[in-house]
Structure 1
Amino acid sequence: MQKEHIKELDVLRMIGFVFVVAQHVFGAYAWRAGAGFSESLILNLFYVIAQPAVPMFVLVTAISLFYNHTERINILTFYKKRILYIFLPYVIWSIINIMDAKLYGQASFDNFIGQLAAGTGRYHLWYMSMILRIYLFFPLILWLSKHIQKLPKFYKVGFLLICFVLYLILLKNNGVTLLIGKRLFNTPTYNEQMFIDRTPLLWSIYFVVGAYVIFGYPNLIALLQRYRKLILLTYIPLLLYIYYIQINPHFPGHKYITIGYLYCFLKVSYMIVSILMLYSLASYVISQKPKLYRLFKETSPYSYSAYLAHVIVLQAVAMELDKVYPIKSFLVLSLLIYILTIILTVKLVQLLSLFPFSKYFLGTSYKYYRSIFTKGMKYSSRNNPGMY
């Protein structure tokens, strides 16, 4: 029996994608030489707002995986789908990204296998090095989670708190990956060290939270509706704190802020609260804004391929604007690049979906013509066996 589709994930996938683009655009132009101070402050605010992108993708991945595999998992089928619809598109787009980056003198094929393993084919592909290892170990994680679910509530809450505390310790002492690299490889290569640095453990709390979300899903939705205003009131001071930490080094005579356990706690809290707020927003869109939700639903299947392709589009848009329409304001320029990159990337992968065998390089069998000619079609998660 096919499970009911979780509509909120459609919204969160696309929010995650536009947040990723925001980080790469606004993060690149903030504090760039020639940018005005006020412009840099605004760009940094946009950048900080978009920071929950990766934690949200990890959490959405956990929700999707646990929801679709609450019954007995067929390990061979599981790995087959991930190889065909996640790893294969990643390989294809890594090649395309490296070829594109070579045009700007930014990459080469010196060690392609190492680049795939470490996600160093282009700067945004680091995420694949991390998430592929989560998929690799998911059957074991699923087995462990089923045993935890059988425990009394006290122990389940305790396990979550232990994971949170251990994660803060790891986050504060993330330099341990350098020691591990030296211990394993003596003198690690760039790809070897990057492979270790991009361990899923540094993002593990969001996967754990995603598992708790889906196992207590009805309660979560009720709590989000009940405490929507409280979540927003918690989000705002956390946002302002992370924003202050971000811009503080650029103020004249600033005092050095020690990045300790308090900062790690508040940053992780900011990420989780942001995701909860966005989840609540997604529920609102679904129930109150059906036309807007339809847009999310039609574009969501392409979120993975759009992520893989967006840097190519971003680079092309930025270069073209610089040559044809030079804009002095970095704020205006970055906003224009941001909007055009999102629109053009989504349209690009939608058009590519019309090609034969497109599911093997896009990670989805969902076709663009379906959203054009069959507006009333019920969306099924089977159309998107890919990333999230």
Structure 2
Amino acid sequence: MQIVSQATTISKGATKLEKTLSKPRIDEWTELRGLAFLAIVLQHSIGEYIYRPDIERPDSVMLGIIYHLTRFGTPTYVFLSAALLFYNFKSRPAAEDARLLGKRFGDIYVPFMIWTAIYWIVARSWSEIPLTAPGWWQSLLREMVIPVSGYHLWFVVMIFQFYILFPLLGRAWSRVKPFFLTENGTGNAVRTGIMLGVAGAAYAVLMHWSYYDMSGWQSGLPRLLQFLLEHRTYIFVMYFFYFVLGAVCASMIRSWREFARRALPWNAVVFLLLFTMMGYMLLQQSGDAINLNISTYLKPSTFLLILSQMLLLYGLLLRPHSAAVPGRFRRMLAWMGKYSFGAYLCHALLLYGVAYFTRSFPLQNLHLAAAGASFVIVACAALALSRLLSLLPGGHWIVGASGQRRRKDASSGGKSQPLRERTASDLN
């Protein structure tokens, strides 16, 4: 009995020590998440105004150019989701993986289902379609797989595929990861560079096929393949390079940070060149009306712009005492990152509300200003609503569990807590 008691004490002590030695929180990830949220709200605000028939050419051109500054938003969410999962990955029994997947379903997919139903109800109400019209339940179930009423909710469908497959992907990466690490745990620059170069080239080819070729592949294919090609933006494979990049960042955080710092000068020049090129292509290919689909995520040139901008912002966030990123602004970004998942879910509904009033206003030569004002209003309101809903009993079913978890961390005395296993509700 004494031996059993001692063994239990040792086991508890080891568990406590393991928690104490958990990996530290990566502050720039939360701040980058806040920037990504702002980019997505600005992107959707621009989309609301740039296609209005009364917009003048100067406003249309300026909105199109600014639009390229927002392209990093959603891919950065993918990158951060992968980074945090790989950062905390530990090989577990299948039963434990199933339990974590169920928890992620509650943290991610249940809020998605609630907001999908809300957007579906609002869309049918505005279209004056009775909620119980024939086929209503088939329509609602279809929204749970291919959301249309909530146009931004496709991201949750896509990223959840990654969560389902992550136990397999995590084990595969843990086997190959030592090949890319040196003896002291830093990244092997040559091997990692070759691996990322090959993966990036393969992804660029995939983006070329997606943008230029895949729409012509559908004829003659089985119906399932036609469906997958038509809805390829919902498939996580179409974003695989950002997952690979997240795995590299998480596994070699010191080397990644050093690379992001050193890349700042030349990457700033690369970003400016790509930004200028993308603006020129948009104006050249749009004709009289600006067509934002020219700058879709799934296009090689957009991929390069996103990659450069993501690395540029990461490097800037590593300079906490620079004038480029003031401390107060960093704290604001961190706060936004805490509640960004719930804000992401609800922001499109708030934008609908703003647009409901602005569509009746004469906005001649004011579309640029209206898009900017809508962006500020919607971003602030969405974050406030996410924070408010997180305070309600059961609020995690609506906006995810991230806000509540962080409040528990804060109640522990203000000390930095170990980085726990988190889900996309912490990231988006």
Specify the TM-score bucket, using the shorter chain as the normaliser: 0.7 to 0.9
Q: Tell me how far 1:222 sits from its aligned partner.
A: 1.6
In the alignment, does 2:152 pair up with 1:132? no
In the TM superposition, what whole-angstrom CA distance separates every residue of 1:124-179 from its partner, at most 9, and x where no partner exists?
11212211111111111111111221336565544333322222222111254774
Identity over the aligned pairs, expressed in percent? 22
What letter corresponds to residue 32 of structure 1 in structure 2?
Answer: R
Q: Tell me the distance in 2 between the aligned counterparts of 1:215 and 1:186.
A: 37
Q: Tell me the distance in 1 between the aligned counterparts of 2:128 and 2:30.
A: 34
In the alignment, does 2:392 pair up with 1:355? yes
Residue 35 and residue 83 in structure 1: after superposition, are their counterparts in 2 closer, same or farther (change >3 A)? Answer: same
Q: Tell me how far 1:38 sits from its aligned partner.
A: 1.2
Q: Tell me how far 1:224 sits from its aligned partner.
A: 2.1
In the alignment, does 2:333 pair up with 1:269? no
In the alignment, does 2:40 pair up with 1:20? yes
Q: Tell me the distance in 2 between the aligned counterparts of 1:133 and 1:56.
A: 17
In the alignment, does 2:328 pair up with 1:308? no
Q: TM-score, normalised by structure 2?
A: 0.78
Residue 42 and residue 106 in structure 1: after superposition, are their counterparts in 2 closer, same or farther (change >3 A)? Answer: farther
Q: Tell me the distance in 1 between the aligned counterparts of 2:309 and 2:56.
A: 29
In the TM superposition, what whole-angstrom CA distance separates every residue of 1:54-82 from its partner, at most 9, and x where no partner exists?
11111111111111215657412320221
In the alignment, does 2:351 pair up with 1:331? no
In the TM superposition, what whole-angstrom CA distance separates every residue of 1:264-305 from its partner, at most 9, and x where no partner exists?
544322111100111122223477633322222223121111
SS at match of 1:146: helix
In the TM superposition, what whole-angstrom CA distance separates every residue of 1:221-273 from its partner, at most 9, and x where no partner exists?
12222332222111100111112112222457x9xxxx9xxx95443221111
In the TM superposition, what whole-angstrom CA distance separates every residue of 1:72-122 from its partner, at most 9, and x where no partner exists?
574123202211101111111111111122232299654333322223342
Q: Tell me the distance in 2 between the aligned counterparts of 1:181 and 1:65.
A: 38
Q: Tell me the distance in 2 between the aligned counterparts of 1:187 and 1:218.
A: 42
Q: State which drifts further: 212-221 or 110-119.
A: 110-119
Q: Tell me the distance in 2 between the aligned counterparts of 1:21 and 1:379.
A: 30
In the alignment, does 2:151 pair up with 1:116? no
Given candidates 197, 206, 209, the residue that maps to 1:170 is: 206
What letter corresponds to residue 258 of structure 2 in structure 1?
Answer: A
Q: In the alignment, which residue of structure 2 is the partner of 1:99?
A: 121
Given candidates 60, 78, 101, the residue that maps to 2:100 is: 78
Mind listing any 5+ residue stretches in structure 1 that lack a counterpart? none
In the TM superposition, what whole-angstrom CA distance separates every residue of 1:164-197 from its partner, at most 9, and x where no partner exists?
22222221112547747964426967xx765555
What letter corresponds to residue 297 of structure 1 in structure 2?
Answer: A
Tell whether the 8 Å contact from 2:268 to 2:312 is kept in structure 1 after alignment.
yes
Q: Tell me how far 1:217 sits from its aligned partner.
A: 1.2
Q: In the alignment, which residue of structure 2 is the partner of 1:284?
A: 319
Q: Tell me the distance in 1 between the aligned counterparts of 2:353 and 2:174.
A: 47
Q: Tell me the distance in 1 between the aligned counterparts of 2:233 and 2:299.
A: 18
What letter corresponds to residue 370 of structure 2 in structure 1?
Answer: L
Mind listing any 5+ residue stretches in structure 2 that lack a counterpart? 1-18, 130-135, 181-187
Residue 374 and residue 298 in structure 1: after superposition, are their counterparts in 2 closer, same or farther (change >3 A)? Answer: farther
Q: State which drifts further: 158-167 or 238-247.
A: 158-167
Tell whether the 8 Å contact from 2:50 to 2:60 is kept in structure 1 after alignment.
yes
Tell whether the 8 Å contact from 2:88 to 2:420 is kept in structure 1 after alignment.
no
Tell whether the 8 Å contact from 2:339 to 2:402 is kept in structure 1 after alignment.
no
Given candidates 57, 70, 81, the residue that maps to 1:61 is: 81
Aligned pairs for 1:359-370 (under 5 A) are 359-367=396-404, 370=407
Q: In the alignment, which residue of structure 2 is the partner of 1:228?
A: 264
Tell whether the 8 Å contact from 2:232 to 2:238 is kept in structure 1 after alignment.
no
SS at match of 1:335: helix
Q: In the alignment, which residue of structure 2 is the partner of 1:6?
A: 26
How many residues are matched?
Answer: 376
Q: State which drifts further: 158-167 or 302-311.
A: 158-167
- Which protein is bigger by CA-based radius of gyration? 2
Q: TM-score, normalised by structure 1?
A: 0.86
What letter corresponds to residue 36 of structure 2 in structure 1?
Answer: G
What letter corresponds to residue 282 of structure 1 in structure 2?
Answer: L
Q: In the alignment, which residue of structure 2 is the partner of 1:37?
A: 57
Higher relative contact order (CA 8 A, sep 6+): 2
Q: Tell me the distance in 2 between the aligned counterparts of 1:155 and 1:177.
A: 36
Q: Tell me the distance in 1 between the aligned counterparts of 2:274 and 2:112.
A: 34
